Amino acid sequence: MKKEIIIAGFGGQGVLSMGKILAYAGLMQGKEVTWMPAYGPEQRGGTANVTVILSDDPIASPLLQKYDIVVVLNQPSMDKFEPRVKPGGILIFDPNGMTRVPERKDINVYRIPATDTAAALGQVKTFNMFVLGGLLKVDPVVELDKVMLGLKKSLPERHHKLLPANEAAMLKGGEIIEKL
Amino acid sequence: MEEIKLMKGNEAFAHAAVRSGCDGYFGYPITPQSEVMETLQELKPWEETGMVVLQAESEVSAINMVYAGAACGKKVMTSSSSPGVSLKQEGISYIAAAELPCLILNVMRGGPGLGTIQPSQADYFQSVKGGGHGDYHMIVLAPSTVQEMADFVDLGYELAFKYRNPVLMLSDGVIGQMMEKVVLPPYKPRRTMEEVIAQCPWATTGKVGRPHNIITSLALESEVMEATNNRLQAKYREIEENEVRFEEYMLDDAEYVFVAFGSSARICKQAVEYARAEGIKVGVLRPITLFPFPTKKIQELATRVKGFMSIEMSAGQMVEDVRLAVNGTKPVGFYGRQGGIIPSAEEALEALKTQIIK
């Protein structure tokens, strides 16, 4: 098993932490993992993306041209990464702020209204967990309980009281994702 | 068994530093290696092991603090990224001339000048050919995994003290910023003063029952300076004889060889996967030591393969050493990206096809 995933969006959307949670969960399942951020002069509103690879075998390059799963959370990221989904692969997008839907017919496209749902539920800060829950619904690359363990590991202890809200967001994310 | 952790290369290096029994870290922040000092500040090793962690006022200060600590026989280190390492070059030349052990980490970013904060490997020449003034060499280790960012701390100190020579870990923004699995090395205590005196009879440990130990890089008499140079050169030949390290990846049946270090080697391994799916027999020679360079290994490969391809994040630096080793007996190609752009595995394979296989 080898899954090559990129998550891309604006800085501040929790893109890097989403990747981190996936990576920790993979680690706990005994996978080889790499987590490679497109690091830059990070700022809220700037672009951010992270490549996460989960594999049963040692991972060669931590950076790739094509991905099994692409998650895009803003229009520039969709424009950049839609062409880089492997044929038959998965593209997940949040329609919030998007000016178009994905055009490719040779991939599986999923829509998750995570921004709107999170806002409606007053859970804006767990936005990324809705997306992660959606991702795991369409391709369970890691087990849900490992994700919660991974989240616990990547969150400082003072934030552990937020774990239930994050779990709820993840489960909700699984409900609101739909195939186009 | 030690717990498997997930961390960045920079963080793994900092953890390994504390565990290596390091006496002092002196640095100045710069992207993409700032996590080294950040992690050390979080770990607060001064409370546990007594290790000093100091943010100097500049890179020049930091390397001269390393110079002084090393003169006392202490296990000391500094880290920086390309522009900062340029600032350290004078100190490094002095340390090499004074034959002192220390560990320096360069997490390379794109240059020249202030450049970019994105990954690069364009400090190869600076690292292996000198960098500072005069005829000297550092021992240069090139990690390509987060695990090696941790493991090469102990190895670096071992070589530094064995040869009384500065050791450089030449990493880059990919390895520094990437998180992957790592098993941290076991804790070693810092050496006691008695152990330092016993193991480093040359160090300035206080003149008790012995003549003065004088550490200097200055020799105004040419004959004395030439003798120093000859001694250094003899040491470098010994290092070339004994300390060459490399990784062979799928070379047994290879007809073509990617030569690449650090993160470029990871990309080449990916390219090998793609190439072999197409039936192209290619492998990777990954130099782990850049000085000493695996010249003999490349010469041996040149007798049985059809060509070499050097893949680097530079305009082509290591390729010169590959060409020197191959010495015209087989074609040697080069492909690289610069300024913080990372070559893709697809590009590496395409370059091999167009330049070498044809």
A100: CATH: 3.40.920.10
B253 and B185 in a common domain? no
Is residue B261 within 8 A of residue B310, CB to CB? The reply is no
pLDDT tens, B223-236?
Answer: 999 999 999 999 99
Number of domains in chain A: 1
Number of domains in chain B: 2
Residue B16: predicted pLDDT: 98
Residue B1: predicted pLDDT: 54
Chain A positions touching chain B (beta carbons under 8 Å)? 20, 23-24, 27, 32-37, 39-41, 59-65
B124 and B54 in a common domain? yes
Residue A117 lies in a domain: no
Q: Which of B45, B9, B20 is nearest to B182 (CA)?
A: B9
Q: How close A126 gets to chain B, by Cα (Å)?
A: 23
Is residue B23 within 8 A of residue B190, CB to CB? The reply is yes
Q: Which of B261, B12, B25, B305 is nearest to B123 (CA)?
A: B261
- Tell me whether residues A32 and B4 touch, CB distance under 8 A: no
Residue A44: predicted pLDDT: 67
Residue B316: predicted pLDDT: 98
- Tell me whether residues B180 and A20 touch, CB distance under 8 A: no
DSSP state letter for B353: I
Q: B304 burial class (0-12, 13-18, 19+ CB within 10 angstroms)? A: exposed
Q: Output b/e per residue, B55-79; b: 16+ Cβ within 10 A.
A: ebeebbbbbbbbbebbbbbbbbbbb
Q: Parallel, antiparallel, or unpaired: how do β-strands B102-108 and B76-80 relate?
A: parallel
Residue A179 lies in a domain: no
Structural domain span for residue A41: 2-112+139-159
Q: How close A74 gets to chain B, by Cα (Å)?
A: 23
Long-range contacts of A113-118 (CB under 8 A, 24+ apart): A113/A176, A114/A173, A114/A176, A117/A172, A117/A173, A117/A176, A118/A169
- Tell me whether residues B180 and A37 touch, CB distance under 8 A: no
Q: What is the CA B95 to chain-centroid distance, rounded?
A: 16
- Tell me whether residues B273 and A60 touch, CB distance under 8 A: yes
- Tell me whether residues A63 and B118 touch, CB distance under 8 A: no
CATH number at residue B18: 3.40.50.970
Residue A153 lies in a domain: yes
Residue A164 lies in a domain: no
Q: Once rounded to an integer, what is the mean pLDDT over residues A11-36?
A: 93
- Tell me whether residues A36 and B4 touch, CB distance under 8 A: no
ipTM of the complex: 0.93
Residue B82 lies in a domain: yes
Residue B231 lies in a domain: no
Interface with B, mutate which of A42, A63, A153, A155 (most B CBs under 10 A):
A63
Residue A104 lies in a domain: yes
B128 and B36 in a common domain? yes
Which of helix, strand or coil describes residue A23?
A: helix
Percent of chain A with pLDDT over 90: 82
Q: Which of B48, B61, B55 is nearest to B21 (CA)?
A: B48
Q: How close B15 gets to chain A, by Cα (Å)?
A: 18
Residue B239 lies in a domain: no
Which residue stretches of chain B have pLDDT < 50? Answer: none
Residue A95 lies in a domain: yes
Chain B positions touching chain A (beta carbons under 8 Å)? 4, 6, 31-32, 117-118, 173-174, 177-181, 263, 266-267, 269-270, 272-273, 342, 344-346
Is residue A71 within 8 A of residue A10, CB to CB? The reply is no
Residue B232: predicted pLDDT: 98
Residue A127 lies in a domain: no
Residue B92 lies in a domain: yes
Residue B209 lies in a domain: no
B73: left (phi over 0), alpha (psi -120 to 50) or beta: left
Q: What would you measure as the largest C-alpha separation in chain B, in angstroms?
A: 70
B132 and B24 in a common domain? yes
B169 and B271 in a common domain? no
CATH number at residue B252: 3.40.50.920
Q: What is the CA B192 to chain-centroid distance, rounded?
A: 27
Residue A41: predicted pLDDT: 66
**A·B CB contacts under 8 A:** 63
Residue A11: predicted pLDDT: 85
Which of helix, strand or coil describes residue B180?
A: strand
Structure tokens at B188: 């070693």
Adjacent-strand bridge partners of B6: B181
Structural domain span for residue B348: 246-357
Q: In what order do the strands lie in the sheet with A85-93?
A: A178-179, A108-111, A85-93, A67-72, A2-10, A47-55, A32-37, B179-183, B4-8
- Tell me whether residues A64 and B345 touch, CB distance under 8 A: yes
pLDDT higher than 90, residue A68: yes
pLDDT tens, B295-341?
Answer: 999 999 999 999 999 999 999 999 999 999 999 999 999 999 999 99
B146 and B17 in a common domain? yes
Alpha-carbon separation of residue A107 from A63, A89, B18, B84 (angstroms) = 21, 5, 48, 46
DSSP B96-130: HHTT--EEEEEEEB--STT--SSB--TTHHHHHS-
pLDDT tens, A125-142?
Answer: 999 999 999 999 999 999
Identify all chain A residues contacting B6, using CB atoms and an 8 Å cutoff.
23-24, 27, 33, 35
Residue B48: predicted pLDDT: 92
Q: Once rounded to an integer, what is the mean pLDDT over residues A81-90?
A: 98
- Tell me whether residues B32 and A36 touch, CB distance under 8 A: no
Residue A9 lies in a domain: yes
B191 and B268 in a common domain? no
B262 and B183 in a common domain? no
Is residue B71 within 8 A of residue B203, CB to CB? The reply is yes
